[in-house]
Chain A
Amino acid sequence: MVTAMALIVQLALNTLQAGSVYVLFALGLTLIFGVMGVVNFAHGQFFTLGALLTSVLVPALREAFGMGVALAFTFASAISIVAVLALAAVVYQFGFRHYLRDTVGSFILSVGLLLFLEGVFLWVFGGVPRVVPNIAPGELRVFGAAIELQRLVVFGIAVIITVLLYLMLAFTRFGRAIRATAEDAGAATLQGIRDKRTLLYGFMVGSFLSAASGCLTAPIAVITPAVGNDYLIKGFITIIIGGLGSVPGAIFGGLTIALIESVVGYYVDGTMATIGMFCVVALLLLIRPQGMLGHVQH
């Protein structure tokens, strides 16, 4: 007999854990849009690369150095993130730098990039589904609900990264530079903020977030070169709900779609949950286009 309590706790656990990764991914997306005015449709490819590299490196490191899973995972993630950042730098320098604040142009460029990278990943990594061994074996049982320990670890790390990001944006010089550039690039330059450099770093922070969410997804999902596409769609839905360019909005949006996914996925099914998410988005865009926590675009 499933108690109502157990069900609520289970759905809440599902929501929080899935939502934390959506939030991380969407934060990167919203940062890039807010700072650079660029719609990066290839954001999911950075996620995919992070996940793919991690899933390939963990067994490789374990075999080469005899490391435990958790340690191998840490090193693998670090290496993957560095690789993604390098790719992001290249993509920015040769691509997005020429399409700043051009929504449509940057979008098309990113579409080309998405197709290109998806093909490259398929070619290099093959279509084989990959799995990372459990980084924290065991389960947590509470009030009749259950969740894997490694999912809690992922949740914890995602929360920490989110908090650090928030602190960085609010209190460091660099964070303020990013916010200033997002608000008004011209005025920011007049204040002595190096516009181009800030944009590059902003893009890299956004891509870091995408890669980090990819690495964190590796232990809890099956990784193929197509894994980023699902997150991409959900990422856009998240930032629309939360407001393009809003950090608290991304958090709110991420948790909202995780909630819809959990609840509708439970009471109806997965496809209806996806349809439901899109309908919520459509409605929200009509009633409050700037998102729940966004500012009106001038």
Chain B
Amino acid sequence: MKVKLGLRFCVIGGALSMSLLSCPAMAEDVLKFGVSSPMSGAAANWGIGCDWVGQKAVKYINDHGGVRVGGKTYKVQLTTYDNGYTAAGGAQSAQAMISRDGVRYIVQSLGTAPVQATQSLSERAGVILLTTAWGKSIKGPKFPLTFTNSNTPYEIFEPLFSVVRSQHPDIKSVALLNPNDSTGQQAEAQSKEVWAKLGVKVVSSSFYERGTTEFQSIATKLANSKADAVDLGGSAPGDAGSVFKELSVQGWNGVKLYPAGTGSDTLVKVGGKSVEGVYMGQAADFSGATATALQRDLDTQAKHVLHEPLNILQMGVWDGMMALKAGIEKADSIDPRVIAKALPTTTVETSYGPVGYGGKSTYGTPQQLLVPVIITQIQNGNTVEIRRVKSTDVNGS
């Protein structure tokens, strides 16, 4: 009986894989969009949320007349692929996306290593790649088909740290903590640079492994450094909440920063009272008064389905799709290379409102979608926006 089961499985498996592997003929009037994101492990919820937002955007676009090019109307379709947060995973998902399934427009991609792997295929295959990855080396004239959907530490940290410093002029030292991955390493490097510029001394910088559950000793180290401020860089929201909680148990009470964290809801859930006053640079509250009606609406729906509010990376999927739609229609072409030339001068109707591309001074070419940098602070358990830095303030291009 066991053998029969195995054999039956073999046959079904073989047939299935053959049918799935054969390149599906691309339907004439459907544009295939893709998302590359970790969908497992600690970052699983990012991918799940990205996919949800993407499907919402697909429905919105299709319900409002699709994408119009050269007198023809196209529908859009989106699939999310797991890149496992590694280079090999990125390469494999890129192959599946681009070579197997014929995706020509990648609307969101997370993780520097997988994005680099995806990029090595997308640039050669003539596929547009929109990403949230932070690496400076990912953008530039060598990569004409790559664009970013949301702000990176290079846009966020300086305004954020300046605001914090102006509200707490007596900070003289800061202790850093970051996860040991590309997000954390880049956040750490940028943190060090900006704090130095502001004259604040970095007294310690630690890394922890993603997946750690015990933060007591890490918190002990931070507390005993006697720093005036603690900067948790790109730590995961749950981890950041745990660290702040432990810090308050151990009696530390200074200025708290969480500059590159994306989830204020989880932060408050985990940290409770200990996260009062935390400053954040990438954790917009899409349910607040300063969010747009569209963002509030998406956020409310997301809470029902995902049990979590949306974060900036997930909202970036919406913005990415709108950017592509705008680019396609402006270029009046579905050829990614033509669209890529048109994007830098396109105004995109993002979820924040109309926004353009810039970033020439930082990256060499305007490949950064200049959504506003939103600086927030936790007040009474709520994420309150304290400053919104518009695109022209950031780098004036």
Do chains A and B make direct contact within the complex (CB under 8 angstroms)? yes
Does B249 lie within 8 Å of A146, measured CB to CB?
Answer: yes
B217 contacts the other chain (CB 8 A): yes
A131 contacts the other chain (CB 8 A): yes
Does B241 lie within 8 Å of A18, measured CB to CB?
Answer: no
A113 contacts the other chain (CB 8 A): no
- Give the distance in Å from the alpha carbon of A274 to the alpha carbon of B213 in the complex: 13
Within 8 A of B (CB), among A140-155: 145-148
B307 contacts the other chain (CB 8 A): yes
B74 contacts the other chain (CB 8 A): no
A271 contacts the other chain (CB 8 A): yes
Contacts A2-B224, A222-B241, A222-B270 known; A122 to B217 CB distance under 8 Å? Answer: no
Across the interface, A18 reaches (CB within 8 A) one of B43, B214, B251, namely B214
Within 8 A of A (CB), among B200-228: 206-209, 211-214, 216-218, 220-221, 224, 226
Interface string of A111-125 (1 = CB under 8 A from B): 000000011001000
- Give the distance in Å from the alpha carbon of A31 to the alpha carbon of B206 in the complex: 36
Does A126 lie within 8 Å of B306, measured CB to CB?
Answer: yes
Return chain B residues, CB-CB under 8 Å to A147: 249
B123 contacts the other chain (CB 8 A): no
Does A270 lie within 8 Å of B208, measured CB to CB?
Answer: yes
Which of A7-15, A77-85, A184-192 contacts the other chain?
A7-15
B180 contacts the other chain (CB 8 A): yes
Does A146 lie within 8 Å of B250, measured CB to CB?
Answer: yes
- Give the distance in Å from the alpha carbon of A224 to the alpha carbon of B307 in the complex: 13
A270 (CB) vs chain B CBs: closest residue: B208
**In which size bucket is the chain A interface?**
35 or more
Does A129 lie within 8 Å of B211, measured CB to CB?
Answer: no
Across the interface, A146 reaches (CB within 8 A) one of B217, B239, B251, namely B251
Return chain A residues, CB-CB under 8 Å to B47: 127
Does B44 lie within 8 Å of A127, measured CB to CB?
Answer: yes
**Chain B interface mostly:** helix
How many whole Å from A42's CB to the nearest CB in chain B? 16
Across the interface, B213 reaches (CB within 8 A) one of A128, A222, A266, namely A222
Contacts A128-B306, A274-B209 known; A229 to B41 CB distance under 8 Å? Answer: yes
Within 8 A of B (CB), among A211-258: 217, 221-222, 224-227, 229-231
B171 contacts the other chain (CB 8 A): no
B379 contacts the other chain (CB 8 A): no
Contacts A129-B238, A146-B251 known; A261 to B214 CB distance under 8 Å? Answer: yes
Does B213 lie within 8 Å of A230, measured CB to CB?
Answer: yes
Does B308 lie within 8 Å of A128, measured CB to CB?
Answer: yes
Contacts A127-B48, A269-B218 known; A224 to B207 CB distance under 8 Å? Answer: no
B42 contacts the other chain (CB 8 A): yes
Does B213 lie within 8 Å of A262, measured CB to CB?
Answer: no
- Give the distance in Å from the alpha carbon of A176 to the alpha carbon of B238 in the complex: 43
Does A270 lie within 8 Å of B209, measured CB to CB?
Answer: yes
Does A131 lie within 8 Å of B209, measured CB to CB?
Answer: no
Return chain A residues, CB-CB under 8 Å to B221: 265-267, 269
Contacts A126-B45, A230-B211 known; A14 to B270 CB distance under 8 Å? Answer: no
B92 contacts the other chain (CB 8 A): no
Return chain B residues, CB-CB under 8 Å to A118: 40
How many whole Å from B367's CB to the nearest CB in chain A? 30
B269 contacts the other chain (CB 8 A): yes
B242 contacts the other chain (CB 8 A): yes
Interface string of B265-291 (1 = CB under 8 A from A): 010011000000000000000000000
Contacts A18-B216, A129-B237 known; A271 to B209 CB distance under 8 Å? Answer: yes
Return chain A residues, CB-CB under 8 Å to B269: 129, 131
Return chain B residues, CB-CB under 8 Å to A119: 40
B250 (CB) vs chain A CBs: closest residue: A146
Contacts A129-B266, A147-B249, A221-B242 known; A10 to B220 CB distance under 8 Å? Answer: yes
Across the interface, A10 reaches (CB within 8 A) one of B42, B206, B212, B250, namely B250
Beyond the given A126-B45, A262-B220, A271-B180, could you list 9 further A-B residue pairs with CB under 8 A, ordered by the A residue number? A2-B226, A126-B307, A131-B269, A222-B266, A226-B41, A230-B209, A230-B213, A262-B216, A270-B209
Chain B positions within 8 Å of A, measured between CB atoms, are: 39-48, 180, 206-209, 211-214, 216-218, 220-221, 224, 226, 237-239, 241-242, 249-251, 266, 269-270, 306-308
8 contacts between A and B (CB under 8 A): A126-B48, A126-B307, A127-B44, A127-B48, A148-B249, A229-B41, A265-B217, A270-B218
10 closest A-B pairs by CB: A127-B45, A270-B208, A127-B44, A222-B238, A269-B206, A265-B217, A129-B238, A221-B213, A14-B216, A262-B217
